[in-house]
């Protein structure tokens, strides 16, 4: 029987438009868009903005994404845009955007804002099919963001999750794509570049890292199977993977799914220490180094984290797991990363200072949930989650000059 999904027969790579949509224009989203635009033969790109206000900010920046490296700004432009307004997406191609391109006079920010508002009012609705979608929004926003584009994705589409933390794909499967037969193809990635937000659409590249990518088998990862590159991945998956690995500044490499999950767990372990503790202590990444009290807290956290990771059923039978995720090795790579990024502020500290939602539920919260499944109590990771909730609550209380503190169970979606 022939496949009768929304697109009919599966298209080949040659039949693809090659357009890449980017959902989530924070540090990572801007870095990916800028990196793809650096290629000599850049792919067509669409920036997906969930709020008209962000489009106004983009227009005020003359449709430019800037990457600050070694004291200089590298500017890329000519991005197409989709804007979410009134529960629908609207298309704003670069050729039709009101952007000051250095003519006889420079438009003021007030005029640019007014022009953006008028342009949005006359934009055409866009319900077009999305072939390749790079999701870089915060893990806390993943389900809501994908629900807004669900009708534009099919089983021939490919979604790349390039985010901090773990567990969001399980939530997407449960809440957005519950039927495996209709589910888009998935890729996942781990990015280790140092990135810092200077302003909207203006990111500082503070440290060269890498981007590790892997397609995910439709039926989930089975580490006992040898999922390599002989799998018949979808055309959109192969195209997106090739496009990203050809962008030099991303330093992207493709690995097998079983390798990817181990890289993800390594990054999760270091983030479970660096992000929440620097956010609670309100300090730079390198400041707690070599303080006895911090080293004790770090070791106790890593004992719990190591115990959970080494007991995960999906890792059983994988050679070298006990060594790779031992407490001493996790401590070593955490200290090494803190030294490397000593002058940086963690993403979670930046979020706390800006009063944005934090991703601790997908870091320490992931360890707590997996520990409960395995009968391992992760008391310290649970405490860290609620210390962070308390700090955010106190800061918000001060700003609002209010007495009640938001209950942490509400913040982290607990019952």
Judge whether residue 199 has pLDDT over 50: yes
Residue range 20-254 forms a domain whose CATH class is alpha beta
Phi-psi sector, 103: left (phi>0), alpha (psi -120 to 50), beta: beta
Judge whether residue 208 has pLDDT over 50: yes
Write down the domain spans for the chain.
20-254, 259-401
> Of 151, 158, 187, 126, which Cα lies nearest the Cα of 13?
158
Mean pLDDT across the chain, nearest whole number?
89
Distance CA 414, CA 197 (A): 31
Range scoring the smallest mean pLDDT among 179-183, 220-224, 287-291: 220-224
| Helix or strand holding residue 37 (H, E) | helix 27-38
In the predicted model, what is the mean pLDDT of residues 226-251?
86
Read out DSSP for 305-341?
A: HHHHHHH-GGGTT-TTHHHHT-HHHHHHHHHHHHHHT
In the predicted model, what is the mean pLDDT of residues 19-23?
98
Which CATH number is 259-401 given?
A: 1.10.1040.10
Range scoring the smallest mean pLDDT among 19-28, 107-116, 120-129, 223-232: 223-232
Give percent of the chain with pLDDT exceeding 70. Answer: 88
Confidence of residue 400 (pLDDT cuts 50, 70, 90): confident
The predicted model scores a pTM of: 0.88
pLDDT at 8: 39
Judge whether residue 104 has pLDDT over 50: no
Same fold, 20-254 and 259-401: no
pLDDT digits (tens, 9 = 90+) for 316-356: 999 999 999 999 999 999 999 999 999 989 999 989 998 88
SS3 342: coil
pLDDT digits (tens, 9 = 90+) for 283-297: 999 999 989 999 999
SS3 186: strand
> Of 123, 130, 129, which Cα lies nearest the Cα of 21?
130
SS3 214: strand
pLDDT at 115: 79
pLDDT at 404: 55
pLDDT at 121: 87
pLDDT at 9: 43
In the predicted model, what is the mean pLDDT of residues 43-58?
94
Judge whether residue 405 has pLDDT over 60: no
Which alpha helices (H) appear in 48-182, and where do they start and end?
52-60, 109-121, 142-147, 168-175
pLDDT at 112: 75
Distance CA 291, CA 301 (A): 16
Instruction: Give 50's DSSP letter.
Output: S
How far from 91 is each of 37, 131, 144, CA to CA, in Å? Answer: 20, 16, 20
Backbone dihedral angles phi then psi of residue 333, each to the nearest 5 degrees:
-70, -30
Please name every residue paired with 88 in a beta bridge, in sequence order, or none if there are none: 85
Read out DSSP for 142-166?
A: HHHHHHTTGGG--TT-EEEE--SSS
Give percent of the chain with pLDDT exceeding 90. Answer: 75
Confidence of residue 401 (pLDDT cuts 50, 70, 90): confident
pLDDT at 106: 58
pLDDT at 2: 36
Q: Please, are residues 338 and 274 in contact by the beta-carbon 8 Å criterion?
A: yes
């Amino acid at each position: 029987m022939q496949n009768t999904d929304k697109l009919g027969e599966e298209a080949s790579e040659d039949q693809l438009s090659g357009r890449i949509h980017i959902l989530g224009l924070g540090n990572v989203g801007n870095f990916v868009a800028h990196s793809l635009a650096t290629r000599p033969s850049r792919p067509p790109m669409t920036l997906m903005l969930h709020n008209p206000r962000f489009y106004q900010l983009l227009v005020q920046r003359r449709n430019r994404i800037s990457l600050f490296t070694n004291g200089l700004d590298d500017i890329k432009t000519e991005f197409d845009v989709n804007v979410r307004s009134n529960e629908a997406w609207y298309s704003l191609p670069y050729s039709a955007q009101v952007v000051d391109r250095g003519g006889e006079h420079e438009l003021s920010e007030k005029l640019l804002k007014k022009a953006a508002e008028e342009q949005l009012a006359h934009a055409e609705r866009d319900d077009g099919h999305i072939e390749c979608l790079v999701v870089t929004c915060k893990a806390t926003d993943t389900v809501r963001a994908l629900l807004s584009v669900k009708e534009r994705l099919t089983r021939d589409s490919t979604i790349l999750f390039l985010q901090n933390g773990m567990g969001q794909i399980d939530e997407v499967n449960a809440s957005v794509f519950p039927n495996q037969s209709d589910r888009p193809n998935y890729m996942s990635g781990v990015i280790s570049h140092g990135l810092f937000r200077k302003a909207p659409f203006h990111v500082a590249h503070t440290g060269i890292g890498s981007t590790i990518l892997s397609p995910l088998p439709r039926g989930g990862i089975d580490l006992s199977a040898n999922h390599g590159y002989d799998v018949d991945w979808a055309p959109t998956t192969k195209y997106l993977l090739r496009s990203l690995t050809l962008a030099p500044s991303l330093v992207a490499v493709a690995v097998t799914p079983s390798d990817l999950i181990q890289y993800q767990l390594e990054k999760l372990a270091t983030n479970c220490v660096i992000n929440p503790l620097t956010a609670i202590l309100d300090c730079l990444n390198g400041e707690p180094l070599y303080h006895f009290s911090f080293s004790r807290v770090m070791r106790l956290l890593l004992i719990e984290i190591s115990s959970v990771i080494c007991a995960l059923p999906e890792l059983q039978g994988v050679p070298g797991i006990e060594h790779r995720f031992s407490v001493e090795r996790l401590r070593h790579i955490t200290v090494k990363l803190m030294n490397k990024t000593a002058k940086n502020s963690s993403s979670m500290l930046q979020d706390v200072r800006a009063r944005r939602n934090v991703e601790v539920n997908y870091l320490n919260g992931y360890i707590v949930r997996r520990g409960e499944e395995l009968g391992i109590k992760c008391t310290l990771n649970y405490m860290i989650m609620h210390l962070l909730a308390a700090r955010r609550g106190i800061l918000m209380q001060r700003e609002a000059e209010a007495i009640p503190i938001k209950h942490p169970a509400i913040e982290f979606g607990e019952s």
